[in-house]
């Protein structure tokens, strides 16, 4: 092992990290060749597994530069489990991959602690993962994160765009800032086109850039899943890369369009700042950022009041942002 350590890989540090993750996740079975999850079918009459995988993207470069790696694990889990939720499924378990140049156990523990917190917020279980120390692949403290989640639903109860109809109401759930998309543009505007520093504070913000840009992605599972299980939600769009136009279009049947009334929900100040500083068009904005909505729910009119009340009680910021109209899968954002 001394020869391997001289080559840049510390196996003992990896063993120590596994022990730390066992303690963090309270899962003593971690470290086996495969993760185990007892599948209790219970209420599921025609069960189907729903899986999703994703990463955090170049938001990681902000975390690395700022030396704040505690919350990117939440982002990682959110990107996967919110997608599973959008299918109408309950997240069950999660696995993560950490590729890193040099394994600093304390820093790696902070990264994985974020994963554990995200899994907790999703009501799921961390059952395994992989940490790869690759000094010739990642340098200067750089690392990459990827994740994989599996959920379950009754096949007949998966959310289906065929259930949507003209007049259905669009409810938007407030995002926690930028979430995990658009960071290549964010970095280009702030740090390449202009010479902002992470310690700077932009107008309208209540904190410096490093903390604003690293706001963790919201995980909507615990507030939305009960409503899905009660049959109160018609369809769900998780607003990630591509913004409202691309993601909402994915849930529309061929005969409907989505009409949003811009101004019926607040846009986070950071996005207004980026538009002004970067001289971005509204078209750039709507195709890059979530515009303040992390998730959009299509709800039949008779269920709207009940859904809004339940979401508010669960701590969500919920806005009535538009409706479904006759059309051809367009997403229209009206600005009066």
More confident residue, 43 or 189: 189
Query: What average pLDDT does this structure show over 191-212?
Result: 96
Check: pTM over 0.85? Answer yes or no. Answer: yes
Of residues 31 and 63, the one with the higher pLDDT is 63
Same CATH fold assignment for domains 2-157 and 161-334: no
What is the radius of gyration, based on Cα positions, of the chain? 21
Beta strands of the chain (E only): which ranges?
47-55, 90-100, 125-133, 143-154, 169-174, 235-238, 256-261, 293-299, 318-326, 331-334
3-class secondary structure, 70:
coil
Q: What is the pLDDT of residue 36?
A: 79
Please spell the DSSP secondary structure of 165-216, one letter per residue.
Answer: -TTPEEEEEEPSTTTTS-HHHHHIIIIIIS---TT---TT-SS-HHHHHTPP
Site of tokens 């599921």: 44
| pLDDT band (50, 70, 90) for residue 4 | very low
User: Per CATH, is 2-157 categorized as 3.30.1330.10?
Assistant: yes
- Residue 165 scores a pLDDT above 50: yes
Domain ranges of the chain: 2-157, 161-334
Question: Cα dihedral sign for 7, 11, 13, 14?
Answer: positive
Q: How confident is the model at residue 7 (pLDDT cuts 50, 70, 90)?
A: very low
At 144, is the secondary structure helix, strand, or coil?
Answer: strand
Structure tokens at 224: 């939305």
Residue 232 has pLDDT above 60, yes or no: yes
* More confident: 96 or 203: 96
Domain 161-334 falls under CATH 3.90.650.10 = yes
Higher-confidence position of 14 and 127:
127
């Amino acid at each position: 092992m001394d020869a391997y350590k001289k080559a840049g890989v510390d196996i003992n540090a990896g063993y120590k990290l596994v022990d730390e993750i066992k303690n963090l996740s309270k899962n003593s079975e971690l470290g086996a060749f495969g993760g185990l999850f007892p599948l209790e079918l219970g209420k599921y009459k025609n069960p189907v597994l729903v899986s999703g995988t994703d990463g955090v993207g170049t938001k990681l470069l902000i975390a690395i530069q700022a030396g704040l790696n505690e919350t990117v694990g939440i982002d990682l889990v959110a990107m996967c489990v919110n997608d599973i939720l959008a299918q109408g499924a309950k997240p069950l378990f999660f696995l993560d991959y950490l590729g890193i140049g040099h394994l600093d156990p304390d820093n790696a523990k902070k990264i994985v602690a974020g994963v554990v917190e995200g899994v907790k917020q999703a009501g799921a279980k961390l059952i395994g993962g992989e940490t790869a120390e690759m000094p010739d692949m990642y340098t200067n403290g750089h690392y990459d994160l990827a994740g994989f989640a599996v959920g379950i639903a009754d096949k007949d109860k998966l959310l289906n765009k065929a259930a949507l109809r003209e007049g259905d109401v669009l409810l938007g759930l407030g995002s926690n800032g930028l979430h995990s998309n658009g960071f290549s543009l964010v970095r280009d505007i702030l740090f390449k086109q202009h010479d902002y520093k992470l310690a700077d504070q932009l107008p309208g913000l209540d904190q410096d850039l490093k903390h604003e840009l690293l706001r963790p992605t919201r995980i909507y599972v615990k507030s939305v899943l009960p409503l899905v299980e009660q049959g109160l939600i018609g369809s769900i769009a998780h607003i990630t890369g591509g913004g409202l136009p691309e993601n909402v279009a994915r849930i529309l049947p061929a005969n409907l369009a989505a009409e949003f009334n811009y101004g019926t929900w607040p846009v986070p100040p950071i996005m207004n700042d980026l538009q002004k500083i970067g001289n971005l068009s509204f078209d750039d904005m709507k195709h890059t950022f979530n515009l303040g909505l992390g998730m959009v729910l299509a709800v039949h009119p008779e269920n709207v009041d009940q859904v809004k009340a339940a979401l508010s009680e669960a701590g969500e910021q919920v806005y009535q942002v538009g409706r479904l109209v006759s059309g051809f899968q367009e997403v229209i954002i009206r600005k009066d």
